[in-house]
Homo-oligomer: A and B are copies of this chain.
Amino acid sequence: MIWCNSSQKMRNLPSNRCDRGKFSCYFAVVEVPISAETMSAEKTAITPTRAQDFPEWYQQVIKAADLAENSETRGCMVIKPWGYGIWELIQQQLDRRFKATGHQNAYFPLLIPLSYLEKEAEHAEGFATECAVVTHHRLEAVKDPQTGKTKMIPSGELAEPYVIRPTSETIIGAAFARWIESYRDLPLLINQWANVMRWEMRPRLFLRTAEFLWQEGHTAHETQEEAIVETRMIHGLYEEFLRDHLAIQVVAGEKTENERFPGADMTLTVEAMVQDRKAIQAGTSHYLGQNFAKAQNISFTGRDGTTQHAHTTSWGVSTRLIGTLIMAHSDDDGLVLPPRVATQQIVILPITPKEDTKQAVLDACQALAETLRHQNFQGDPIRVHVDTRDVSGGVKKWDWVKKGVPIRIEIGPRDIETRKVCVQRRDQPSMAKEFVDKEEFIRSASDLLGQIHQSLLDRSTAFRDANISVCTSIEEFDAHWSKENPGWLYTAWAGTPAEEETLSKQHKIAIRCIPVPHANLPTGLKGAAGDKCILTGRDAVSYVIWGRSY
């Protein structure tokens, strides 16, 4: 491994902002193969750095990678090709898993009659009311006689307004009520890929937007037991997906009653820790009991001939996953993509200093790309791009650094002679490079992608583990939350919902979850947390994780 000096001018090419930023790696608690000293004088491709201003860094990473942007529709984003490509891969890979576990896709109306929500409101407290309401079905064009401009006026008022689905339990439940007659129709296992809309007051690209893309699973079962098995199975599927596809080690757990989805009897969650040590709820799986079934009359004739209400579940992940992976992995040089969801996994950069060797280099690059495309990584052909743009090598390199491509390959005239390629890994410092025998690289490309995945996952796990502390004293607990970027606390708990709410509001925190028994947490946490509730001193009923969140 050879360490080079950074080509400082290149890093900031797009914005021309070259402010010197102190490098302070959030991953510092983990062993990282760069010393803080070496890097402190470095310029970074993203300004500000994570340490300087994490929220602004996040916006700048998105901008530099060309993932998405705000639109003129309030709170709604435009997902640009590089960002949408990530979503397509997430969709494709999750969809396979859903189908492999017996689910089928379907599509339900975007607009929900108000009467459906009224029915639900009778049964479930506290569901969201910030949603887009359609009240008219026509526009009338009126010419302003003074300016000559055309104005559009809503007309054709609807007798019953509709809302744009914030989630589809009600409208899918109505379909389930029509479809299910007998226990033979169960289980009914449906998933929908769709856009949904919630009128968010403080939108933030990917993490919280008015419109977002998601999948929502909705299932109906004969018994409570089967529905709970489904809820847990999907919970496990999400945990695995985050780990094996997004390289994020989450904490899988159950929400407390306070934090449950309105109308659910049980909400399971996967909580990701990102680099400012906040939590992001990355996916949820709800057991809805018979609550929605009763509200919507989803009933069936049981094996014993009696009419029974179905037990239903719902579960989902959204484009929020993209925000999560950005905040989890990216660094001060921009996006870092886990290989499985990288639109391009390998980018080949032809280095063509002289006209007479240019074609040979381009040919070598295209040939290598074709060879690599016939290799598989995790069952899919490796995705390879050759950047033939007529711009300098430095510009190309930094574009792909900022876009987070896992492996960059440079090939110049000399490399053709020596049969080597220059390999650069996005999980290592941007200036690190290694010259590798070309055939050897072809043989090991898939392994290398696997190693990059593993190194991101190891980092994510180590960072998470280093930032979950056990706490047994309420004084320490109270003091903890005034720290900058406090990590999560793990405590014994026996408080009431009201006590939980008071404590949460006091510190702007929440119980993120009650980790499930098999949660892959550092050993010894539970023992160290004692057996008395951190707040009340009562005998512990559960062990919980507290944290700030997005």
Residues of A within 8 A of B (CB): 69, 71-73, 76-81, 84-85, 87-88, 104-114, 116-118, 121-122, 129-141, 149-152, 154, 156, 161-164, 171, 174-175, 178, 190, 194-195, 197, 199, 211, 213
Contacts and interface: CB of A to CB of B under 8 A. Distances in A.
A135 B154 contact: yes
Question: How many copies, total?
Answer: 2
A116 B88 CA distance: 29
Nearest to A113: B72
Contacts of A76: 109-111
A520 to B, nearest CB: 33
Contact of A199 (B117, B121, B137): B137
B137 A134 contact: no
A110 B162 contact: no
B79 A107 contact: yes
Most buried by B among A129, A151, A171: A129
Nearest to A105: B84
18 contacts: A72-B113, A73-B171, A76-B110, A76-B111, A81-B105, A84-B104, A84-B106, A110-B164, A110-B197, A111-B197, A114-B139, A122-B149, A129-B139, A134-B135, A135-B135, A135-B136, A138-B199, A195-B195
A133 B129 contact: no
Contacts of A112: 73
Most buried by B among A109, A113, A154, A163: A109
B150 A139 contact: no
Contacts of A122: 149-150
A290 to B, nearest CB: 20
Contact of A134 (B72, B109, B134): B134
A156 B72 CA distance: 19
A84 to B, nearest CB: 5
Contacts of A110: 73, 76, 164, 195, 197, 211
A133 B131 contact: no
A257 to B, nearest CB: 21
A290 B138 CA distance: 28
A141 B129 contact: yes
A211 B109 contact: yes
Given A84-B106, A84-B107, A135-B133, A154 B161 contact: yes
Contact of A130 (B104, B134, B138): B138
Q: Which 8 pairs from chain A and chain B are nearest by CB?
A: A76-B109, A81-B104, A133-B136, A73-B109, A79-B107, A137-B199, A133-B154, A129-B139
A134 B75 CA distance: 15
Given A137-B130, A211-B111, A106 B121 contact: no
B106 A80 contact: yes
A106 B132 CA distance: 23
Nearest to A135: B135
Nearest to A391: B184
Contacts of A117: 139, 152
B71 A118 contact: no
A549 B121 CA distance: 45
Contacts of A135: 133-136, 154
Nearest to A76: B109
B139 A163 contact: yes
B72 A174 contact: yes
A112 B139 CA distance: 13
Contacts of A139: 114, 117, 129, 131, 133, 163
A137 B141 contact: no
A107 to B, nearest CB: 4
Nearest to A88: B105
Contacts of A116: 72
Given A109-B77, A164-B134, A71 B171 contact: yes
A271 B80 CA distance: 33
A363 B190 CA distance: 28
Given A71-B108, A71-B175, A81-B105, 14 more contacts: A72-B113, A78-B106, A81-B104, A84-B106, A85-B104, A110-B164, A111-B132, A114-B139, A130-B137, A131-B137, A132-B137, A133-B137, A133-B139, A134-B135
A174 B72 CA distance: 9
A86 to B, nearest CB: 11
